């Protein structure tokens, strides 16, 4: 009796390989940085840590409940998508009619691909348990989720769902020992189907696919420059557009010219990780995945989780789930539910366990609330400025106090730099633009900096920024027009004439009213200069 009571007063704590490797990844991200830590984003990391810890310590029997929660999440997103298609709800993107609760249809497709695998798992379980009504119900829901996946238009989601389904089917056939054909032949058939599918969807939106090839090419160039430890966390976004500009300067006749744009995502998480953390970071991530996949599954839930993780990883090859917080939650939840090799097991008293958990919980929650308060207050204040297109003294004072806490947040700084800065002191305006350019450069920001130096009559600085902006996106006419105006103001008529002739021949993706007005002004200038030369 004493032994039983003694065991009840103590708990067994297990440390698994995935715990150690996740801590290693966090240390890498903390120490190896190109951009300093952003205090307004700490809440995202702490929330993920809290979710992972909670999932790791809950009883195994609740894992199916978590899968049901993911399932319900997917169903909810499909309902919202259908309402958006029927125009009862607005989407969150002006170019796409269906986004679910996400800002883009891509992440919606990634979530629904994972939910599709979970739905197959529930069908499989009910077939095994001979629950015909439940099996039929889950089949109908699976078709519903598949319809939502098709509505999303996400080619990455479709590919992930196909590969995940193939893996699930393969594992099921292996476990049931029902494979009557040679495994090599079956694997080759699966590979052929996936290859044909990927090639087919490539031609659905070929320009978009080619645009990603351009991004991958420049990201690989970045990896070559910083192979071992990478450029550092935040370094990809802080440097990518400069690499794109350099690419077009070296390849002025590139077929990718009309596909270039301001880029914020690598569209491949593995390339992104390697670019920022180098081979070292990639090895740690690969080790984590190996630890999870090499652990022999003991039940259907383990099998489902492995298939779901593979689905998520395939999606990660073509998209940016690491930049979408709900998908980060989905990923860390799958990792938390999976198992890997046990590293250490020890026993502690229940009182000690509860004290440690309580202190850790309070600490993490306090940090999360404080960080989120900074983020939310800054975001709402900046949006208010953008809506009113004006800043009051009180608002300026608030943002000045918050600025040191959010200046390394690329999202907030991008919105902040796009707001009306005319009411700011010149030094503050320059500080905002330079900080934004440091963490997330793009053509628009370089044009604004060019305008700033032009206003200050520093023509060489202005020219340098306009030229970089033009190289980043060669089909954008605005930087060329800015250079044309700069040369006129500078009195450099020859340079203005050359730039005007270049502008008229410049390839333009979409020629709108603004571009036509610019061309008309250039033509008028060239015509006047031509007449002047004739009269001389």
Domains and CATH numbers, the chain: 2-340 (no CATH), 370-441 (no CATH), 442-536 (1.25.40.10)
- CB of 366 closer than 8 Å to CB of 50: no
Structure token pair of residue 249: 């300067």
- CB of 170 closer than 8 Å to CB of 163: no
- Integer Rg of the chain from CA: 27
SS3 346: strand
Q: Is 458 left (phi over 0), alpha (psi -120 to 50) or beta?
A: beta
Residues of the chain with pLDDT under 50: 1-7
Structure confidence by residue, pLDDT tens digits, 32-86: 999 999 999 999 999 999 999 989 888 777 777 888 999 999 999 999 999 999 9
Q: How far apart are the first and last CA of the chain?
A: 114
Per-residue confidence (pLDDT) for residue 199, from 0 to 100? 74
Structure confidence by residue, pLDDT tens digits, 297-312: 777 888 889 999 999 9
SS3 11: strand
Q: Is 13 left (phi over 0), alpha (psi -120 to 50) or beta?
A: beta
Per-residue confidence (pLDDT) for residue 57, from 0 to 100? 85
Q: How far apart, in whole angstroms, are the C-alpha atoms of residue 169 and residue 186?
A: 11
Per-residue confidence (pLDDT) for residue 168, from 0 to 100? 82
| CB atoms near residue 364 (< 10 Å) | 17
Residues in Cβ contact with 517 at an 8 Å cutoff, skipping those fewer than 6 apart = none
| CB atoms near residue 192 (< 10 Å) | 10
Per-residue confidence (pLDDT) for residue 5, from 0 to 100? 41
Residues in Cβ contact with 229 at an 8 Å cutoff, skipping those fewer than 6 apart = 32, 277, 278, 280, 281
Comparing C-alpha atoms, which of 410, 391, 409 is closest to residue 399?
391
Burial of 533 (0-12, 13-18, 19+ CB in 10 A): exposed
Structure token pair of residue 6: 């003694």
Per-residue confidence (pLDDT) for residue 7, from 0 to 100? 46
Per-residue confidence (pLDDT) for residue 208, from 0 to 100? 81
Comparing C-alpha atoms, which of 4, 49, 29 is closest to residue 284?
29
- DSSP characters over 382-450: HHHHHHHT---HHHHHHHHHHHHHHTT-HHHHHHHHHS--TTS-HHHHHHHHHHHHHHS--HHHHHHHH
Phi, psi of 100, rounded to the nearest 5 degrees: 65, -140
Phi, psi of 371, rounded to the nearest 5 degrees: -65, -45
Q: How far apart, in whole angstroms, are the C-alpha atoms of residue 193 and residue 166?
A: 10
Mutual angle of helices 350-388 and 42-57, in 10-degree steps:
150
Q: How far apart, in whole angstroms, are the C-alpha atoms of residue 92 and residue 105?
A: 9
Comparing C-alpha atoms, which of 373, 388, 431, 436 is closest to residue 410?
436
Q: Is 278 left (phi over 0), alpha (psi -120 to 50) or beta?
A: left
Per-residue confidence (pLDDT) for residue 25, from 0 to 100? 94
- Within 13 Å, how many C-alpha atoms sit on residue 71's CB side? 20
Global pTM? 0.91
Comparing C-alpha atoms, which of 329, 340, 331 is closest to residue 308?
331
Q: Which residues pair with 348 in a beta bridge?
A: 11
Q: How far apart, in whole angstroms, are the C-alpha atoms of residue 33 and residue 170?
A: 41
């Amino acid at each position: 009796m004493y032994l039983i009571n003694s065991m009840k007063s103590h708990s067994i704590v297990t440390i698994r390989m995935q715990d150690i490797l996740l801590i290693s990844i966090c240390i890498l991200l903390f120490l190896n940085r190109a951009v300093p830590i952003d205090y307004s984003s700490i809440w995202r990391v702490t929330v993920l840590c809290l979710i992972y810890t909670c999932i790791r310590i809950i009883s195994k029997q609740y894992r199916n409940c978590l899968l049901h929660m993911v399932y319900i999440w997917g169903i909810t997103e499909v309902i919202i998508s259908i309402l958006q298609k029927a125009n009862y709800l607005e989407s969150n993107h002006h170019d796409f009619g269906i986004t679910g609760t996400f800002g883009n249809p891509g992440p919606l497709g990634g979530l629904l691909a994972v939910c599709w695998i979970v739905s197959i798992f529930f069908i499989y379980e009910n077939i095994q348990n001979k629950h015909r009504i439940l099996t039929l119900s889950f089949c109908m829901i699976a078709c519903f989720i598949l319809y939502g996946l098709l509505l999303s238009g996400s080619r990455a989601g479709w590919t992930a769902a196909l590969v995940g389904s193939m893996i699930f089917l393969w594992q099921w056939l292996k476990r049931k020992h029902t494979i009557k054909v040679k495994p090599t032949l079956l694997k080759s058939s699966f590979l052929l189907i996936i290859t044909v599918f990927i090639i087919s969807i490539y031609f659905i939106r070929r320009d978009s696919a080619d645009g990603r090839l351009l991004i991958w090419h420049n990201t690989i160039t970045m990896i070559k420059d910083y192979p071992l430890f990478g450029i550092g966390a935040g370094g990809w976004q802080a440097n990518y557009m400069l690499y794109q500009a350099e690419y077009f300067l070296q390849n002025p006749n590139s077929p990718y010219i009309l596909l270039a744009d301001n880029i914020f995502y690598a569209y491949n998480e593995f390339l992104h990780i390697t670019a920022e953390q180098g081979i070292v970071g990639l090895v740690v991530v690969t080790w984590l995945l190996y630890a999870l996949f090499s652990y022999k599954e003991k039940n259907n839930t383990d099998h489902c989780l492995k298939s779901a993780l593979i689905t998520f990883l395939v999606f990660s090859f073509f998209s940016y789930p690491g930049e979408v917080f709900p998908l980060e939650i989905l990923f860390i939840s799958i990792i938390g539910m999976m198992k890997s090799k046990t590293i250490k097991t020890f026993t502690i008293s229940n009182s000690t366990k509860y004290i440690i958990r309580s202190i850790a919980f309070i600490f993490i929650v306090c940090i999360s609330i404080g960080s989120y308060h900074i983020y939310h207050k800054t975001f709402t204040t900046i949006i208010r400025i953008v809506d009113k297109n004006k800043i009051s003294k009180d608002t300026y004072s608030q943002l000045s106090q918050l600025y040191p806490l959010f200046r390394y947040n690329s999202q907030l700084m991008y919105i902040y730099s796009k707001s009306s800065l005319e009411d700011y002191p010149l030094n503050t305006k320059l500080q905002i633009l330079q900080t934004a350019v440091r963490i997330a450069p793009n053509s628009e920001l370089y044009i604004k900096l060019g305008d700033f130096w032009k206003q200050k009559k520093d023509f060489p600085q202005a020219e340098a920024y306009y030229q970089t902006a033009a190289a980043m996106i060669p089909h954008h006419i605005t930087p060329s027009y800015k250079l044309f105006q700069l040369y006129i103001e500078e009195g450099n008529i020859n340079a203005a004439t050359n730039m005007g002739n270049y502008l008229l021949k410049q390839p333009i993706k979409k020629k709108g009213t603004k571009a036509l007005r610019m061309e008309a002004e250039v033509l008028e200038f060239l015509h006047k200069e031509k007449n002047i030369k004739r009269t001389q």
